[in-house]
Every structure is written in C-alpha cells, then in structure tokens.
Structure 1
Amino acid sequence: MSFQPTSHFDPGLNLFKTETMAAHLTPREPVLPDPGKRNILITSALPYVNNVPHLGNIIGSVLSADTFARYSRARGFNSLYIGSTDEYGTTIEARALVENCTPQELCDKYYAIHAAVYKWFNISFDIFGRTTTPLQTEITQDIFLKLKDNGFLEERMTTQLYCEQHHSFLADRFVEGECPDCGYVDARGDLCGKLLQSLELIRPRCKVDGSVPVTKETKHIFLELDKLQPEVEAFFQESAVKGAWSSNGTSITAAWLKEGLQPRSITRDLKWGTPVPTSLEGYEEKVIYSWFDACIGYVSITANYTDQWEKWWRSPDDVQLYQFMGKDNVVYHSIIFSATKIGTHEPWTKFHHLSTTDYLT
C-alpha cells in the first residue's frame, strides 16, 4: 500500500509548501510580526539527524506544535512555525564512522529522510531547516562573543574522560555509567535529570567501544550560569505563570534553580561543530558544545527563512514564543538558552509558553 502526502518539500528552499485538494500553492511572502496584533512564534525540538525519526520525535514535540500552529493560523494570528534537524556533535561523528561516510554526507542523507517523514505526516512547517549553515555559525559566534564581552564566559582547565582506544576526549553523550543519584546503570551525563558531569558517573565506560576511559586535562570555555541565576530565576517566575508552562517543564526548571546554577562548559574537543571564534587562541581544534549551539538553531533557521528574522527574535513586546519538546530537553531551553539570551544584554524574544511531554513508553 502506498501513501501520497499532501505537501511538497523543496530542499532548495527548505520550505514546506502546503497544497489544497484542488491546486498547488506557490510560496507565499515570509510571515512577519505585525506590531499591535498577536504574533506567535512556534518551534518543535530539533532531533538529531543521525538516524531515522522515531515515534517519540513526533509525539514529543512535532504533532503538538503542528496542532497549535494550525489553531493559531485559524484564529488569524500572525504565526510562524519552524523546525529543523540538529546536525552537529559527537553523535553525528560516531554515526558517520559506522556508515563509512563524512559527517556532512550523513547529515544530508538523514535530513532528506526526516523531511520525507514530516511531509508524509503533512506537518505544516513554514520552514524546515538545518543547523549546518553559515548563518548558524555567524549568529552563534556573535552570541558567544557578546557573552564573553559581558563577562559571562571563563576559561578553565578541566579533567575529562579520554578514550585511549580511539584517541578522543569523550563528550557527555559517549560516556555511560551508573548514575550516583538514582542507580541507573546506563546513565549518560547529558540526559540525566540532574545533568551530571561525566566524571560523576560510577564505573564509566566508552559507549563507542566499551573500554574504560582515563582522565586527562584540557582547557575549555565555561558559561557562568551562577552569575546569571538571579535574572534567569526572575524571568522563570514571571513567564511560567503568565505563559502557563506545562507542569513538568515548570517543576524541572524550578528544581534546577533551587539546587543552584553552576558554570558549565560550552566548548568541546571535537571537529564536527560550530567553530569557536578565531579570536580565542588555542581553540582551533575545538568547537562550540552542540547543546549550546542547537537552541540558537531556532534563530538561524528563522534567519534562513527571512532576512528580517530580528522582527521575530528581538521583539519581546510584540512576539509570543511557544516551544514544544520532550522533558529531557527542558533545562537546555529553560535554563541554558534563556541564560544565553539574557547574558547578551540584548532584547531577545524569550519563552511565553514551554510545552513539554513525558517519555513515550
């Protein structure tokens, strides 16, 4: 049995173009905010493009965001719905090794698969973009340098886990071990509820080859979240109530803030990622951490949609931002992405509503 989707994807434009039963519609002019009216900016979480999408991707963020986007348009609101694949980080490098191709070739392959799946579901993205674009590099590096200029970045020597089998520092995602908090034996530092450092895991092992890693020193740039906590907390207290955040998004964020924010590394010893700005000496072989970089992807995707992207992302009085994701992504959005925007001292559009779902089991 074959299914014929009712939308067309144009990879040259990165646009989903919807059609009626009778006629194909040509791309419309970019949707822009209209001051004085209700303007809604909607995002779905950006799935890694190292594999085919799974049902959790659809349930966790895409269908709910799409439903809300259709509702907003039906109400006559100026609504922009953006999605993308997340294409940087260790997961991409590792999968490319398995498939014997370059990271870029891997991203190209799975981006097309993701686009086809969402087309089949007739998801009404205004743009379905990618994070591997020149604008992603430009905007991410600009934000990075503004944080540095404002005193929120600090260089530190760190001790990290290093795999002697394949001669590489291990990013959080590629270290597994026992969680000291809950005892889960296959915990990963980047996706545990406490957002553990990999060194905190008990009996750590390299996920790539199963070997026991050693510790080794390396220098990195840290985002000083502790300095930004008062402003992040004030924003959260206001927005979570005013925007009626989902209960799990609220509780996860509140728990993090209650424990107290700590500086967190935002660079990695990798090759595949947004380069650290060249003005920082000694970072030529390092990239910006994908979880810092990925959320900025929402901005760069909008910039690829329209050169007037700042009307959406620098208009906090005119635009309401609704973000949809699974609960494992909450802290990267509600804490780190919010802190990142606050730390630039620029008028960014921040959350109005955060919608988060529990795991699909």
Structure 2
Amino acid sequence: MSSPQRRLLVTSALPYANGQIHIGHLVEYVQTDIWVRFQRMRGHEVHYVGADDTHGTPIMLRAEKEGITPKELIANVWKEHKRDFDNFLISFDNYYTTDSPENEKLAQSIYLKLRDAGLIEKRAIEQAYDPVKEMFLPDRFIKGECPKCGAKDQYGDNCEKCGATYSPTDLKNPFSVVSGATPIKKISDHYFFKLSDPRCEEFLREWTQEKTPLQPEARNKMKEWVGQPGESKLGDWDISRDAPYFGFEIPDAPGKYFYVWLDAPIGYYASFLNYCQAKGLNFDEWVKPDTSTEQYHFIGKDILYFHTLFWPATLKFSGYRTPTNVFAHGFLTVDGEKMSKSRGTLISANSVIECGFNPEWFRYYFATKLNDSMEDLDLNLQDFVARVNSDLLGKYINIASRSAGFLVKRFGGVVSDAAMNTPLLQEIAASSEKIAELYEGREYAKALRTVMELADKVNGFVDENKPWEIAKDPEREADLQRVCSVTLEAFRMLSLYLKPVIPQVANGVEEFLSLPPQSWSDINMPLSSKNPIQAYQHLMTRVEAPQIEALLAANL
C-alpha cells in the first residue's frame, strides 16, 4: 500500500568548524541518513541539507593561533567534514556553511522582524574582560578555582569535579584561557531575545506540550522549562557578542555581532535557500507558516534546549513555519565508557577509513542500537565484530553466495518465474509495511531484528533443501533452479529492506541481480527471466579483530 507523497525538509545538527568528525558525531548523521534514504525509497520528495557551524570566539582564536584567517580555517575544515560525510555515505542534497551571504541576509532579516515585533531588548550587563587581549571572554574561556569545592583549573560555567554550576564572576583566582591575565569586570550593552514575553511563553507551552509530537523525554524536559500557565520560567536569551568576534554584525548595532547560536540554526534555512536557488525550487513555499511541507531536525539531546525553545520561537515570531518535529538521540559510549583520547576510543571518522574499515559496518551496527528514544547507545567493540560478521556476513550475504553460483553455471543466470509463489517469499513480502513503520518511527533496531529473523528463515530454507545435494542429481534440474530462484528472490527482498542502512552493498546487489535502483514498492516485483543475474562477486568482507587494535592505536 503506497502512501500519498509527502514533502520533507530534513536536517542534522551542524558540526562546529573547530574540530574533526568522530564516531560519536556519526551516530546522528547515520540516523538521519537512514531515515532520509527510507523516505526517498517510499517515493516522497525529500531534501536533506546541512552545513558547517562556523562562527564564534573559538574559531577566531584557533585561526589566530594557526596564523591564518578564520575564513581560511573554516574552508579547510569544510573539506575535511565533507570528506568524512561522503565516506560514510551521508547523502546530503546540499552541504554548506553558516558563513554565507544567504545566512547573513536571513539572520539580519529575522533579527529585524523580531525587533519590530518588540521582542528584542538592549541591556547593559557586566562581563569578564581580558585586558591583555582586549576582548570579552565567553564562560569557557575563563578558568579558576571552583567556588563550591575549591577544585583548580575549572571552567567559568561549571565544575567538572563536583558538578556545581555558577557564574564566571564567582570563580576564585580566575584567569583568561587566552592570555593568562586576570579578567576584569566591564560593562557592555547586549541584545536579548525576550523569551519571557507572554507571547513567547504561551506559544512555546502550546508548541512543546500540545502541537508537536515530541519524544516523551523531550516533552517532559520542556514542561520543566516552560512551566504552567501563569508561571514565568523562561529567561531572556542573550543573542549578541562584542567585537572582536568572527560572525555577522547586527544591523543596527555597530561592533556587536550575532551570537553563534542565533545564526547557526538559521544556517539550516540558508543551506536550503542556496539549494533552492541552484535547483529552481520555491524556498518560500517550503518555509511559510501555512505550508503543507514537513520540517524535521535530528539532534543530540545536549542541544534540545536550543531546538525546542529558541529555534521555534525565532521562527514563529519572524514569520516562518515551525518544525514539524525535533528528534533527539543519546550519546555514544565506547565499551561502556565516555570516549577517551587516552584510551584510543575518541575515534575519528577519517581514521576508520584509513584503517581499512568498511563504513557500512558502522552504519549497520549503529542502526542495530538506534531507536526513537534519547537513551545513550554503546559501541562495544567485541560485539561490533561479532554482530557484523554474524548478521551481515553469516546471515545475509551468505544467502547469495550459497545459491548464485548454481544459477549462473547451470541455468545461465535465469531465475524461475514461479519462485514468487513460494510461502517463504510471500511471508517476506508481507513484512514490508511492518518494517516500513519501524523505519518511519526511527525504530531501526527493531527493523533490523525483523530483517535478520527473515534472513534466518531463508537460511533455514536453504539448509532444508540443500541445493548442493540437489545439484548432484541430473534428474532434479528443475528443483535446483526453483530452490536457487527462491533463495535469490529472498536475497533481493532482504537487500531492499536493508538498502537505507547499507546503500553501497544494496547498489552492488542491484548490479549483481540486473535490477534498476530499487524503491520500497518494488518488493513484489520479481527478478525477471529476461534479465539473467550476473556472476556473484564478494559484496562485503569480514571484520577481523586485529583491525580493531589498529584503529585504537591510530587514535591514541
């Protein structure tokens, strides 16, 4: 049963242009990409856009340290990020940068609309200032002794030893991370988005609690933040920073710049606008308040606050549509612990490729762990080896290798047209909507468990019929062709179900089986006797334990 065509705009969080992509980041892009590929297979119009998040003090200071301009730095990092996403088969329709003319224009336009709506307020605030570098210091650029437990070398916003949170002005013996100087206090005018305005509070209460099908954990968290009617829990949001700063200048405030978190999410729209201009799409039709299009954001749970409070309010009160939904995921641990550079488990995306790993091993393994919740997931390296080898090689790939040779050598690669009438194939085809619902709901672990249960049944069919035994009997040629045809049809179906997760292998299967690119509705379209299958070629190799050791060593 086919569903009406939908029109979807999908994003993943924008990686910061101050570091490399590691496997913890990749969980999110793989999760998004599987969903996007599935939606494309269903025949929907899907546009998946992203960008590097490029502004802020850390970018400015790193560029200075490297002796290059911030623009040179972000251009270099963009190439690395794009390489990593391409290597892991992340199928962005457009991968852009937040340091773009489109983003500057959109950010300024949105700001002016918020200002004209009476939602921007200028206030004088006291901040820490580095007298040597002559710059205001973000919280993370001030260190000192924790005011609660006395631990040394703690950041200006929270203590990593006792967990206390505080203001940078509370630190004892503070010093600037940039110059080492003792910060002084200095007054500066800042611009605030008035989230405490009753209009914002009412909108956000309704959007988070009633209108948007947020994950239960997210909705409960939002309930803590937005409070009950009559309560005023939302604080106003400081959206400005002082020069020197790498970013966009605020239109009516010389020397003041948009805080990176103001223009970064607008970068979703800027990337899409850039794409629309290149492809001749109507950008306004997708982002206007009453549009029938859908807009989804995949993010980590650590940035839920920005995407379910600031971003919807920014869109609502500047005249744009609000997100259809925001999907948050948990963090990745490795062998049950936080990723660690000293243990070699802060694994960069590029090192995975350089150590000879197949990126689809990781895509599959992450998918077996992902569901629709915000719970953390663990990359257990021993389990990774066992799961990939058992599921992908032992259960799935093995099906093709056990049958294709007989069909090519004995029957010219021609399948039996009657194969689809077999109950086994009818059962696999009947699972189509169940598996589709699981992909739609981001329940990838359940979807893959269902596929592997079907693979077990196919392998049971092969073991029961023993084509290698039938092949010895010249009188049973028809039986041999039938058994091998059923097996290859089953392999075709399983490959279709796995295509969002392991698209490169699926493409190889389509070539091997002489098929055009498969969509979800092709589940009941049998292999044709008019298009003989090709000789079987290895589709995937096993993971070997020494590869894991090499990967860990490469990341020390």
TM-score range, shorter chain: 0.7 to 0.9
Greater mean deviation of Cα atoms: 156-165 or 204-213: 204-213
TM-score w.r.t. length of structure 1: 0.79
Alpha-carbon deviation of 1:234?
Answer: 1.0
Secondary structure (helix, strand or coil) at the match of 1:338 reads helix
2:323 matched to 1:354? no
Select the residue among 93, 98, 111 that pairs with 1:126. 93
Select the residue among 261, 267, 271 that pairs with 2:234. 261
Select the residue among 14, 20, 42 that pairs with 1:52. 20
For 1:207, the aligned partner's letter is V
Alpha-carbon deviation of 1:199?
Answer: 3.8
- Relative to structure 1, the CA distance from residue 211 to residue 136 in structure 2 (aligned partners, 3 Å threshold; closer, same or farther) is same
Secondary structure (helix, strand or coil) at the match of 1:79 reads strand
After TM superposition, the structure 1 = structure 2 runs for residues 21-170 of structure 1, keeping only pairs within 5 Å, are 37-59=5-27, 61-170=28-137
- Relative to structure 1, the CA distance from residue 306 to residue 257 in structure 2 (aligned partners, 3 Å threshold; closer, same or farther) is same
- Relative to structure 1, the CA distance from residue 76 to residue 261 in structure 2 (aligned partners, 3 Å threshold; closer, same or farther) is same
Aligned position for 1:14: none
Assess if the C-alpha contact under 8 Å between 1:276 and 1:284 holds in 2.
Answer: yes
Secondary structure (helix, strand or coil) at the match of 2:185 reads strand
Assess if the C-alpha contact under 8 Å between 1:248 and 1:356 holds in 2.
Answer: no
Secondary structure (helix, strand or coil) at the match of 1:262 reads coil
Secondary structure (helix, strand or coil) at the match of 2:10 reads strand
Aligned position for 1:9: none
Assess if the C-alpha contact under 8 Å between 2:12 and 2:29 holds in 1.
Answer: yes
- How far apart in 1 are the matches of 2:159 and 2:48? 26
Select the residue among 258, 265, 271 that pairs with 1:288. 258
- How far apart in 2 are the matches of 1:118 and 1:68? 16
Deviations 1:152-177 (A, max 9, x none): 00111111111123221012442356
- How far apart in 1 are the matches of 2:192 and 2:273? 27
User: Is the strand fraction higher in 1 or 2?
Assistant: 1
For 1:212, the aligned partner's letter is T
Assess if the C-alpha contact under 8 Å between 2:240 and 2:256 holds in 1.
Answer: yes
2:302 matched to 1:320? no
- How far apart in 2 are the matches of 1:40 and 1:338? 17
Deviations 1:320-342 (A, max 9, x none): 22111111211111111111112
- How far apart in 2 are the matches of 1:183 and 1:343? 44
For 1:54, the aligned partner's letter is H
Aligned position for 1:221: 191
Greater mean deviation of Cα atoms: 177-186 or 248-257: 177-186
Alpha-carbon deviation of 1:256?
Answer: 2.0
Alpha-carbon deviation of 1:142?
Answer: 0.4
Alpha-carbon deviation of 1:149?
Answer: 0.5
Deviations 1:24-67 (A, max 9, x none): xxxxxxxxxxxx842211100001111211222212x2111111
Select the residue among 198, 201, 206 that pairs with 1:234. 206
Residue ranges of structure 2 left out of the alignment (5+ in a row):
333-337, 339-556
- How far apart in 2 are the matches of 1:175 and 1:223? 25
- How far apart in 2 are the matches of 1:133 and 1:286? 18
- Relative to structure 1, the CA distance from residue 82 to residue 186 in structure 2 (aligned partners, 3 Å threshold; closer, same or farther) is farther
User: Is the helix fraction higher in 1 or 2?
Assistant: 2
- How far apart in 2 are the matches of 1:151 and 1:190? 33
Assess if the C-alpha contact under 8 Å between 2:156 and 2:171 holds in 1.
Answer: no
- Relative to structure 1, the CA distance from residue 76 to residue 201 in structure 2 (aligned partners, 3 Å threshold; closer, same or farther) is farther
For 1:76, the aligned partner's letter is G
Select the residue among 265, 285, 305 that pairs with 1:331. 305
TM-score w.r.t. length of structure 2: 0.53
Residue ranges of structure 1 left out of the alignment (5+ in a row):
1-35
Secondary structure (helix, strand or coil) at the match of 1:63 reads helix
Alpha-carbon deviation of 1:306?
Answer: 0.8
Assess if the C-alpha contact under 8 Å between 1:319 and 1:349 holds in 2.
Answer: no
Larger Rg over CA atoms = 2
For 2:52, the aligned partner's letter is T
- How far apart in 1 are the matches of 2:223 and 2:148? 18
Number of aligned residues: 314
For 2:249, the aligned partner's letter is P
Secondary structure (helix, strand or coil) at the match of 1:124 reads coil
Q: Supply the RMSD in Å over aligned alpha carbons.
A: 2.7
For 1:298, the aligned partner's letter is Y
Alpha-carbon deviation of 1:87?
Answer: 0.7
- Relative to structure 1, the CA distance from residue 156 to residue 188 in structure 2 (aligned partners, 3 Å threshold; closer, same or farther) is same
Secondary structure (helix, strand or coil) at the match of 1:260 reads coil
Deviations 1:202-261 (A, max 9, x none): 445433344432211000111101011111111111244xx3x23443333332223711
